[in-house]
Structure 1
Amino acid sequence: MIYFDNSATTKPYKEVLDTFIQVNEHFYANPASIHEAGVEANELLDRARSQVAQILKTDDYSVLFTGGGTESNNFAIFGVTKANTHKGKHIITTEIEHASILESVKSLEKEGFEVDYLQVDENGVISLEELKKKIRKDTVFVSIMHVNNEIGSIQPIQEAGKIIHENSRATFHVDAVQSFGKLPIFFNGEAGPDIISISGHKIHGLKGSGIIAFRQKINILPYLLGGGQEFGLRSGTVAVPQAVALSKAARIAAEKIEETQAKYKKWHQDLIQFLSKFGEEVKILSTEFGAGHILSFSVKDLKGEILINALQQRGIIVSTSSACSSKQKKTSHVVTAMNVEKHYKDGVIRLSFGAFNTEVEINQFKIEFMKVMKELKGVNL
């Protein structure tokens, strides 16, 4: 099997699995306990937190471990908005955010918050001018994803942060689930984000593990109430094995990021050139300026499910848009926001690369895709 669905989830590194097992076997005590075993578990947790903080360029107490990207996004938006209604009830986000953001702001709209959605161009990128026009003195929260999970478009995070901080008191949140470990993302003073969300299983870590990190101490309501763990913001016995395993995956990603970027970019450009040869039969939605690990395209008048099944029969796993919406029989909101022509909007396919993919697999995809195009569309290169 050739697996090109790494933006949905990744295969964990062996080192990450080994770390998880070892911590479960030898450091299984509750880190909140005062006995020696609990202290040892807590020391491991502190070390994992510190390692992540160093990567993100923030303080140890500004990193919290969560159950994943969706929880981190929900934590950020509900925690900040409800703690800061005295500043205002205006929210800005984009039309192409992950459902964990879009569904959250819809919920807040029902509670009296006002939401503005930034549009994107044909490349899936926001306009900084529109952001300038929509930012207000009563804007309390802005959420802009770094890399779109469906087409790989990269948003101008640093420039957006500068605009937000110069024109409002809003907290700037960045969903970095699809960018962390593949592109540089960290806290960079006033120009960057205030909050970053990360998911473990997107970087060859484990499902059920995530991070919400802060540039500095901010006013935010607790997400879970109880025993006061995670600095009183997320109560419940901390899953030390998941935290330590996530820290391991994050360190591996950080160490390999330059190599990873170069490899993915090469494959991305190679496949864009290859797919371009099919002319109007194939519309490439991802651009050369997007993230290297995500490549989306559509075959004219062909449903995505048909193409997925045809490739799967040849041992190649790809997906339609995002895993969160691929089972729903409707056009992706990202495709709609980009105004993709009707001949292409139902056939969007996403290839997403991971650490275990190889150049041989990229070449094999080309061979099999040409066979599929001949079989389904009668097209020969």
Structure 2
Amino acid sequence: MRAILFDKFQGPVSVREVPDPKAPDGGVVVRVHATGLCLSDWHAWSGHDADITDLPHVPGHELAGTIAEVGAGVTGWRVGDRVTVPFVSGCGTCEWCRRGQAQVCPDQTQPGFTHWGSYAELVALYAADANLVAVPDDVSFETAASLGCRFATAYRAVAGRAKVQAGEWVAVVGAGGVGLSAIMIAVARGARVVAVDRSAGALEAAVRAGAEHTVLTDGGLTDGGLTDGGLTDGGLADGGLAGGGLVDGGAHTGGIDVPAVVQQLTDGGAHVAVDAVGSERTCADAIGSLRRQGRHVQVGLFPPVDGGPRVPMGRVIAWELEVLGSHGMAAADYPEMLELVASGALRPQDLLDRVVGLEEAARLVPTMDSAPRAGMVVLDPRRA
């Protein structure tokens, strides 16, 4: 088969011919029709998951396709079935899997991390009866691929972990794939959303997803420094607020005070904040955007830093904030989400930016941390 490979972390990425995978006992081989290009795959290429990733390596973890081979012991699936899979696949037998909480299984596997992933024509998956999810005929493979990581992760973060309610304010920091998904899901639950991002194009996508307000930071969300930001709704820049006046307390060096802007837009702070990027700055901005006794959900992965990332725990303690992690979503929770997708109440397909082939995807992998984000990019390995 053809696959995207790298031989060393942060090294060249290329398309090569490699042996086809074999179905493991209890597992299957899936012919990949669509797989998302996700920032988590950039983390794998960067070596941030080197403790679980062997070299050479094929990345890719959010996928959809048809079963090409069924391994011994699989009872619920057959060749030709349309399927997707959570990016965290549980063992199917431990206490967490038996409770339907496979996303925290201690013996989990993750395509594209613990074994070769879906940036390929074929991918092997484990514990098929516990992890595979049927894709309805009226849901496209491109849509289903987005469900394996970003959309499902956002769904669990917003609905399962934060339990967002109608009328609440939600601040979403980062309007990439998972951030746009969180916006769409929060709005579908009746919440009001403020989206924060460095890219005007990403914020335009956030408005289409239902964001009521957008805050433009113009270059600071992924590297720790805010620069020349402003509100995009209202047309003001350099930290100005619709209605006049600068944010109380001044601005961060070179830019605006994102928490103060969100606090004013939401009349005291968001009830829920989601960090969909993963940096000290975005985490701090999200937590600082909350009102007292608000809920913060950390979705974005932090790059490794000495001593671990700093989190503003003084604010967490003083304001009795809840800090929640969200790590994908178990297959057991997919039916509720898929029903909403099939009904049209949720439309992850609207977040699709473009579909690319293997060669273009290989060129994109090393740049995914800095490339402009205005929706999801999906790889179709069958495309030239």
TM-score (norm 2): 0.34
Quick check: which one's helix share is greater? 1
TM-score (norm 1): 0.34
Q: Which has the larger Rg? A: 1
Structure showing greater relative contact order (alpha-carbon pairs closer than 8 Å, 6 or more residues apart): 1
Quick check: which one's strand share is greater? 2
